[in-house]
Amino acid sequence: MNQTKRSLICLLLVSSFILHPSSFLRADGGTIRLSEQKGNYRITVFTTPTHLRAGPVDVSVLVQDAATGEMASEVRVTIKAVPRGSPGVALHHPATTEAATNKLYYAANFDLPEPGWYSLEVSIDGALGTAQVRFELEAAEPLPPWLAIWPWLGWPVLAILLFSIHQLLVRWRSR
C-alpha cells in the first residue's frame, strides 16, 4: 500500500471519530449521577446525554444486591422527575430492562420539557425490600435543531473534502 492510500485511510479514521463523538451515543450508561447503598440495594443512576439538556434524556439504573454485589433481579424500578418549583408537574416513568440496551440496566426515556433544576427520585421494589434515592440535577437549554442533524449533513461535505485532498495529492505526485 502506498503512502497516499495509507494517509487517506488514517484521515478517514480520524474524521469518523470527529463526526461521531461519544456524546451523541444513546445507550445505557452515561454520566454517573448517583451511586449509593440504600437498604439492601446498591443503586447507581446514569444519565445520557453527558451534558444534560432539556429534551430527550435516558435515565439508566443499575440495581445490585448490597451484600453480594450481584445484580438484583425481579425488581420494579420507577423514576420520577419533578421540576424545581413545580411539584405538581411530576414525570413518572417505569424503568425496564426492555427499554435498556444492556439488560443489566433498568432504563427509562424522559422528555424534559424545559431547562432548569429537577429532582430525580428512583424507587426500587423487589425481593430484598424497598429503597428510594433522590438527587437533583440541572438540565441546560436544548441545542438548536440544526445541531442535532449536523452529523448527517456534515459527512457528505467531509467526503467531498477528502476526495479533493486525494485529487490534489495525486496531481502533486504526478508532477
pLDDT tens figures, 122-133: 999 999 999 999
Res 27: pLDDT: 46
What CA–CA distance (Å, rounded) separates 94 from 107? 8
Would you say 47 and 25 are in contact if contact means Cβ atoms under 8 Å apart? no
Res 155: pLDDT: 82
Beta strands in 8-167 (DSSP E): 31-38, 41-48, 55-65, 76-83, 91-95, 105-112, 116-126, 129-139
Residue ranges for the chain with pLDDT beneath 50: 21-27
| Helix, coil or strand: residue 162 | helix
What CA–CA distance (Å, rounded) separates 157 from 151? 10
Q: Which of 144, 129, 138, 150 is nearest to 24 (CA)?
A: 150
Which amino acid, 169?
A: L
Helix (H) or strand (E) holding 40: none
Res 88: pLDDT: 80
Res 172: pLDDT: 87
DSSP 166: H
pTM for the full predicted model: 0.70
Res 25: pLDDT: 46
Res 123: pLDDT: 97
What CA–CA distance (Å, rounded) separates 171 from 142? 46
Res 61: pLDDT: 96
Res 132: pLDDT: 97
* b/e code 81-110 from CB counts within 10 Å (16+ = b): bbbeeeeeeebebebebebbeeeebbbbeb
Pairing of strands 55-65, 76-83: unpaired
pLDDT per residue over 96-114, tens digit each? 999 998 889 999 998 999 9
